[in-house]
Structure formats: C-alpha cells, structure tokens
Amino acid sequence: MSPQQPRALGPLPTLIFASRWLQLPLYLGLIVAQAVYVWQFGVELVHLVSEVFLHSGEAEQAAKVAEGGPSAEVAIMLIVLGLIDVVMISNLLMMVIVGGYETFVSRLRLEGHPDQPEWLSHVNASVLKVKLAMAIIGISSIHLLKTFIAAGALNGLPFCSSAQLAQMKAEMAITSAQCTQLTPDGVLWQTIIHCVFILSAIGIAWTDKLMNGAAPAKHAAH
C-alpha cells in the first residue's frame, strides 16, 4: 500500500505556511550572537588568567582594599561568575535557536543521531517555554549573586560619575577602588525582579501541568 500523499494546499494557506521561513534570519542572527558570546568568554578568561598570575603584590593589594576596592579573591570570584553567566546565556541561546527552529520553522530530522540533545526529543512550545523560564532564573541568580558579592565590598563607596561608569563598562567591572555603580535601592529592586522571575516560572510550570493534565481527561471523556 502506497503512502498517502499530502493534500495540496491552496495559494493563501501555502503563503501563510511558507511565512514561517521569515524567522530563519532571526535564528541565523542568534547564531552570530552565540559567536559574540564565545568571544566574550575568551576575553573574560584572559582577564581571569591575568588576575591570577599577573596581579599586584600584597602591599598594593592591601592598599587597594583599604581604598574600598575588592580583594583579589572577590575579584576572581566575580570573574568566574561572569564566565558562568556567559555560558548560561549561551545555553539559553542554543535552546532558542535549536528548539525554536524545530518548533516553529522546520524539523531538523535528528532522530537517531548520536549527538541529538536529550531535551530535543520531546520539545514543543510548552516544554520550550518552561525550559526558557528556568534558564532565565538561572541567569538572574548568577547576576544577583554577583551583585551581592560586589555589594559586600562597597565600604561606603560613592556612586560613580559618567566618566567612571564608562571606564568600568570598558573593564567589565561592577565596582572600582574609587566608586561603585550599585545602590541599596538598585540591589533591592534586582532582588524583587529575581523573585518575580521565580514566581512567573512557577506559574508557567503550574499552568503547563494543568493543561497537560486536562488533555488526557478530555480524551478519556470522548
């Protein structure tokens, strides 16, 4: 018995269905963003190596701490958290690129491939939504931890001027020996936003569970 041929679509349904390929440049752009994050990871890694092996002597480090700057251990910890942050954002990009393309554009036909990600075998819009929410919470947790560690080394530092903020942005730093870009209100709002992310993810997961539980009951009723 020959396989059933797909029914031909009319002009309008064909156009609407083909419009999904308009998303292809978006996913290709995210691949470019992934490459940028690989470069960012390399820059952070070089910064970490230089901080470990080329840091200043104990006297200069003590003077830096006395001026309100972070200690060598805190500086290294912040850089490592920055590396983890880059990796987690890269993982988020990969889930959006692969899962989004598979769900909304076209199949990748990876069934049986030895390198197929485990989560991709059962991916759909609901699963992808929950996984993205959990990934965003993880990224937010790293940012909040970095903020708490940096805030612990403030020692009453004043808020940075525009020129100092530009210099710190170029150095990818949160605080310096002279000033900080953290304020108590800023830390409080960052904590509140993180809690909102957690509550939103719980709500998304709970809604998804209710919907998945209602579907079998509906089929059983019929």
- Tokens 């019929």, residue? 222
Kindly tell me if the per-residue pLDDT of 100 is higher than 90: no
- pLDDT > 70 in the chain, percent: 66
Over range 170-177, report the average pLDDT.
Answer: 54
Q: Where are the alpha helices (DSSP H) in the chain?
A: 11-18, 24-53, 58-66, 72-94, 100-104, 125-151, 162-171, 184-221
Q: Domain segments of the chain: what residues?
A: 22-106+123-214
Write down the pLDDT at residue 170.
56
- Tokens 């940028």 correspond to what residue? 36
Predicted local confidence at residue 47, as pLDDT: 82
Q: Output the CA torsion sign for 188, 47, 158, 68.
A: positive
Distance CA 198, CA 179 (A): 31
pTM of the model: 0.68
Sign of CA dihedral 79, 82, 83, 84: positive
| pLDDT exceeds cutoff 60 at 70 | no
DSSP secondary-structure letter at 159? B
Q: CA 179, CA 168: separation in Å to the nearest integer? A: 10
